[in-house]
Amino acid sequence: MSIIGGETIGTALLILFGDGVVAAVLLNRSKAQNSDWIVIALGWGLAVAIAVYAVGQFTGAHINPAVTLGFWIEGTTPGGDVLEYFIGQFLGAFIGATLVFLAYNRHFADTEDPGLKLSVFCTGPAIRNYGWNTVTEVIGTFALVFGVFAIVDNAAPGETGLTPLLIGLLVAGIGLSLGGPTGYAINPARDLGPRIIHAVMPIPGKGSSDWSYSWIPVVGPLIGGALGALAYDWWWPA
């Protein structure tokens, strides 16, 4: 499988299950409505685990430009492959978000609050402060990339097939601990791709796609991913 193909499939699964659990919790007349933050965090963690299990053997299942950047800095991913990873990740994000829109189409129509509809697709801050919101995304993505390196470098879970599950639990933990301020994008493709789908799809009663905030879930994770890779490489050099 090509890098673009594998990352497209993996990221589409990530967004289908990740944005899907948000839709289930937020949208009117969903059977899971109001089931709360812990369900969202667990759902995103399982989404990551499923995606990594699905395509990890083909591409390493980066499914996140910040992770790809980290592996490039660390030296595992060749520079010539980075663009292919990015293309696959954004294509997958577009596909996954579109499938969520189709699956919950009637629930979008039945939900009046445009903010809830936007929240299905992308993140937003609980307290809007661009500087501190960026700091939160940097910290969360630092923890993600540093944690991914630590898990992947540990031979024991790899031998038992538990590596994808542990990475999923890492994401769930980040959501439970650090997701409160910004909704923990920690992934530029996960946020920007579905935000674009929100902007172009005929979602009934939708409002703004909040483009003034859209750069933070891109810039913050890229900075955090780079710092996570540099820190891990410095503390535990190969």
Longest Cα separation, the chain: 54
High-pLDDT (> 70) share of the chain, %: 100
pTM (whole model) above 0.75: yes
CA torsion sign, 134 to 137 to 142 to 145?
negative
Query: For residue 238, how many other CB atoms are within 10 A of its CB?
Result: 7
Assess whether pLDDT exceeds 90 at residue 1: no
Q: Which CATH architecture has domain 3-123+134-232?
A: Up-down Bundle (1.20)
Cβ(204)–Cβ(112) under 8 Å?
no
pLDDT tens column, 83-131 = 999 999 999 999 999 999 999 999 999 999 999 999 999 999 999 999 9
Cβ(218)–Cβ(132) under 8 Å?
no
Distance CA 172, CA 130 (A): 24
pLDDT tens column, 190-238 = 999 999 999 999 999 999 999 999 999 999 999 999 999 999 999 887 6
Token pair for residue 198? 């929100």
* Domain boundaries defined on the chain: 3-123+134-232
